[in-house]
């Protein structure tokens, strides 16, 4: 059933980072275990990262585990946080070491000179917290994803609980969430319809590709009163607002569906895993051709903006320092050195003019009051002059 080698899941020699996200209960961790086991069976062991600090046990071995660096319970106690706040703060603390993580990934996934015959790692698997909003919409999640995407082709695998999306309303809710994640991360995405051993995913694929099929299912649910009406009311029974909203959303998301790959898998039986890695290979090529140039353009724009701001600030500094050679147009306040020069000049003026005679008179008067000798002896004046000349 399995081939001798796993499908090549990348369009280049770099390993592909597969980031698994999904709502709680969607089977995300079990899916991680299944694809990890599949790659090992194909003699292509991946590099596994666990970013869920609150999980107690995982059914796979992690090369990098956030629980080794951050104690989730201690974070909650130290900062007086709840479960979601503890997860978010743990991710924030872990994200401060992202440069070390990327360096380690580049070292581990590159060729090893000591082992030239060893196969290079071709896949990086990343498991995320079940509280999907904590990872996708947080600053630390953006830092982790952007850092991965700047170094490796990165693909988002959005895990969906297929049996829970059989109604049009829950299906549309999942599609809207997937749409928001796609435009937030700006990375290629694969919709993984999990638990196909319980419910086949063909209905979801049909709703995404055939507008009339979704409309027929929507009318059927309206007639059955699934949107709040009484069963048997006929066409128009139930909430007309909900039906019109879902109808409008299906039209809006028609363009969104064209950018997605949909794969039905069963984490329990392993069905559809090979198709998933084929989709990963296609999305990795799409990353290289469509997403990577955009990332490079944004990175270059940020660098150019930084240089422009630096030159602007330098121009302001040069203008303030008045190094352009032009005469200053504003009055210049004398500095401390200028003031000291003025003081020296005033002292010299006193020595050359009446200041010295006045000082001698005050000196003689002080001697008379103290009973000392008086006269024309200007030894004190000469002493002052000699002292100032030495200075």
> The tokens of 247 are what?
């109808």
Q: What is the mean pLDDT of residues 277-305?
A: 85
- State the pLDDT at residue 227: 66
- How far, CA to CA in Å, does 79 sit from each of 55, 82, 87? 19, 9, 12
- Per-residue pLDDT for 197 more than 60? yes
Integer Cα distance of 267 and 265 in angstroms: 6
pLDDT in tens, 37-48: 999 999 999 999
Average pLDDT, the chain: 80
- Per-residue pLDDT for 246 more than 80? yes
Q: How confident is the model at residue 50 (pLDDT cuts 50, 70, 90)?
A: very high
* Residue 145, Cβ density class (10 Å: 0-12 exposed, 13-18 middle, ≥19 buried): buried
- Among 70-79, 223-232, 237-246, 378-387, which range has the highest average pLDDT? 70-79
Domains of the chain from N-terminus onward: 16-44+112-225+246-297 (3.40.50.300)
Q: What is the mean pLDDT of residues 225-244?
A: 56
Least reliable range by pLDDT among 3-17, 56-70, 116-130: 3-17
Q: What is the mean pLDDT of residues 222-243?
A: 59
Q: How confident is the model at residue 380 (pLDDT cuts 50, 70, 90)?
A: low
- State the pLDDT at residue 253: 85
Q: How confident is the model at residue 271 (pLDDT cuts 50, 70, 90)?
A: very high
* Residue 284, Cβ density class (10 Å: 0-12 exposed, 13-18 middle, ≥19 buried): buried
Q: What is the pTM of this model?
A: 0.71
- Per-residue pLDDT for 361 more than 90? no
Integer Cα distance of 187 and 261 in angstroms: 13
- Among 7-21, 291-305, 334-348, which range has the highest average pLDDT? 291-305
More confident residue, 295 or 159: 159
- Per-residue pLDDT for 222 more than 70? yes
- Per-residue pLDDT for 2 more than 70? no
Integer Cα distance of 223 and 235 in angstroms: 5
pLDDT in tens, 65-109: 999 999 999 999 999 999 999 999 999 999 999 999 999 998 888
Strand partners, 123: 16
- State the pLDDT at residue 379: 57
Give the rounded percent of residues in the chain with a pLDDT score beyond 90.
Answer: 43
- State the pLDDT at residue 72: 93
- State the pLDDT at residue 15: 92
Least reliable range by pLDDT among 92-96, 119-123, 265-269, 277-281: 119-123
- The three state secondary structure string of 140-206 is HHHHHHHHHHHHCCEEEEEEEEHHHHCCHHHHHHHHHHHHHHHHHHCCCEEEEEECCCCCCCHHHHH
- State the pLDDT at residue 69: 92
Q: Where do the H-state alpha helices sit in 322-353?
A: 336-352
pLDDT in tens, 302-346: 778 888 888 888 888 877 776 545 545 555 454 444 444 544 544
Q: How confident is the model at residue 356 (pLDDT cuts 50, 70, 90)?
A: low
Integer Cα distance of 271 and 371 in angstroms: 120
> The tokens of 278 are what?
């084929």
- Per-residue pLDDT for 14 more than 90? no
More confident residue, 166 or 363: 166
- State the pLDDT at residue 384: 55
């Amino acid at each position: 059933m399995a081939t001798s080698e796993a499908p090549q899941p990348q369009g280049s020699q770099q390993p592909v980072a597969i980031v698994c996200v999904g709502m709680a209960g969607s089977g995300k961790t079990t899916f991680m275990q299944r694809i990890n086991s599949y790659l090992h069976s194909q003699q292509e062991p991946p590099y596994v990262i666990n970013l869920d600090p609150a999980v107690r046990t995982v059914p796979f071995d992690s090369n990098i585990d956030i629980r080794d660096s951050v104690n989730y319970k201690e974070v909650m106690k130290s900062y007086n946080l709840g479960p979601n706040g503890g997860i978010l703060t743990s991710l924030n603390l872990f994200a401060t070491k992202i440069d070390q993580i990327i360096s380690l990934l580049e070292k581990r996934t590159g060729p090893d000179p000591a082992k030239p015959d060893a196969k290079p790692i071709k896949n990086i698997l990343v498991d995320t917290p079940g509280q999907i909003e904590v990872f996708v919409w947080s600053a630390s999640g953006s830092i982790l994803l952007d850092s991965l995407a700047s170094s490796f082709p990165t693909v988002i695998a959005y895990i969906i609980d297929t049996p829970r999306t059989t109604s049009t309303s829950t299906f549309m809710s999942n599609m809207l969430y997937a749409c928001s994640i796609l435009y937030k991360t700006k990375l290629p995405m694969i919709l993984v319809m999990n638990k196909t051993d319980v419910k086949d995913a063909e209905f979801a694929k049909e709703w995404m590709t055939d507008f009339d099929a979704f409309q027929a299912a929507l009318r059927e649910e309206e007639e059955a009163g699934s949107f709040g009406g009484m069963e048997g009311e006929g066409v128009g029974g139930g909430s007309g607002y909900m039906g019109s909203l879902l109808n409008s959303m299906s039209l809006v998301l028609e363009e969104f569906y064209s950018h997605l790959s949909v794969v039905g898998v069963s984490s329990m039986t392993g069905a559809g895993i090979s198709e998933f890695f084929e989709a990963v290979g296609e999305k990795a090529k799409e990353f290289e051709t469509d997403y990577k140039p955009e990332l490079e353009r944004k990175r270059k724009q940020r660098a150019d903006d930084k240089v422009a701001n630096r030159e602007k600030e330098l121009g302001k500094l040069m203008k303030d320092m008045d190094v352009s050679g032009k005469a200053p147009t504003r009055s210049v306040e004398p500095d401390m050195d200028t003031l000291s020069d003025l003081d020296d000049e005033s002292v010299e003026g006193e020595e050359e003019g009446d200041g010295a005679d006045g000082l001698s008179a005050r000196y003689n008067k002080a001697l008379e009051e103290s009973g000392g000798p008086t006269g024309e002896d200007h030894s004190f004046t000469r002493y002052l002059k000699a002292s100032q000349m030495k200075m």
